[in-house]
């Protein structure tokens, strides 16, 4: 793991892509300049962010886009601790290609440095499923105890579902894992390790609720 302090992460939003808007980043440090195209950036607003990052991998990446062959040094982020933000300067350079469209047949990745990867584990998924089941059972028990008086969380659930049905019909399904948190107006931290297209859909859906705002300091959606 490499820790870099006093870095500037410049996030640029590319609009109107085939699979929706997406973000790419540039990492500036006194020792290096690196491209960052991790999926977690898709939750960020365009701008410059300052703080500390932990890098798990640095590699040379090549791809073909807009009739050109591009070679760049990329970094894979393990974690970030961002303290402040500012507006990024307006750039007029050619738009970046969507990472979802990078075909393996047209790209190559040459490792420069990478941290040892831990053994895969299903513990977190199992714990998440168990926790969700327990929360569902608790909510059902509350309804049984007060059949004529819905709790505040259930009332909020109704309004959230109504918003989803009017604006984004697929919202409940996309955010199914976070239903209980949203209905209780609790902070929601999306999982950046899921499929990138899914994370984009979740980001769009929770943003359209109108009751949540992304806080870059802890990369979590908080109720307004």
- What is the residue extent of each domain of the chain? 2-114, 123-223
pLDDT tens digits for range 93-123? 556 778 887 655 444 555 665 566 555 454 5
First and final C-alpha spacing in the chain: 35
Instruction: Supply the pLDDT for residue 183.
Output: 85
Instruction: Give the residue-averaged pLDDT of 200-207.
Output: 92
Report the DSSP beta bridge partners of residue 114.
57
pLDDT tens digits for range 3-41? 999 999 999 988 877 778 889 999 999 999 999 999 999
Distance (Å, whole) CA 136 – CA 202: 21
Distance (Å, whole) CA 189 – CA 3: 23
Cα-based torsion angle of the residue sequence 142, 147, 152, 154 in order, rounded to the nearest 10 degrees: 80
Distance (Å, whole) CA 69 – CA 64: 4
pLDDT tens digits for range 129-185? 455 455 545 654 554 455 444 334 434 444 444 444 334 344 558 999 998 898 889
Look at residues 7, 14, 11 and name the one whose alpha carbon lies nearest to residue 30. 7
pLDDT tens digits for range 52-96? 999 999 999 988 877 778 889 999 999 999 999 988 765 645 567
Instruction: Give the residue-averaged pLDDT of 48-52.
Output: 96
Pure H helices in the chain: 123-145, 152-167, 171-174, 179-183, 196-208
Burial 104-125 (b: 16+ CB within 10 A, else e): eeeeeeeeeeeeeeeeeeeeee
Q: Give the predicted TM-score (pTM) of the model.
A: 0.66
DSSP state of 155: H
């Amino acid at each position: 793991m490499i820790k870099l302090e006093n870095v500037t992460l410049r996030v640029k939003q590319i609009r109107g892509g085939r699979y929706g808007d997406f973000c790419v980043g540039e990492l500036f440090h006194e020792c290096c300049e690196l491209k960052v195209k991790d999926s977690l950036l898709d939750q960020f607003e365009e701008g410059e962010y300052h703080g500390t990052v932990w890098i798990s991998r640095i590699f040379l990446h090549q791809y073909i886009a807009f009739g050109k062959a591009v070679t760049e040094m990329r970094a894979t982020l393990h974690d970030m601790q961002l303290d402040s933000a500012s507006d990024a300067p307006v750039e007029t350079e050619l738009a970046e290609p969507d990472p979802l469209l990078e075909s393996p047949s047209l790209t190559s990745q040459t490792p420069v440095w990478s941290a040892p990867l831990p053994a895969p584990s299903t513990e977190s998924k199992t714990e998440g499923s168990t926790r969700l089941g327990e929360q569902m059972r608790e909510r059902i028990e509350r309804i049984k105890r007060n059949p004529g008086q819905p709790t505040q969380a259930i009332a909020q659930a109704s309004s959230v579902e109504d918003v989803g049905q009017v604006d984004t019909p697929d919202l409940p399904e996309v955010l199914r894992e976070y239903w209980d948190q949203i209905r209780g107006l609790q902070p929601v931290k999306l999982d950046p390790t899921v499929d990138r297209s899914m994370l984009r859909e979740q980001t769009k859906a929770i943003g359209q609720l109108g009751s949540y705002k992304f806080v870059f300091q802890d990369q979590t959606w908080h109720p307004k």
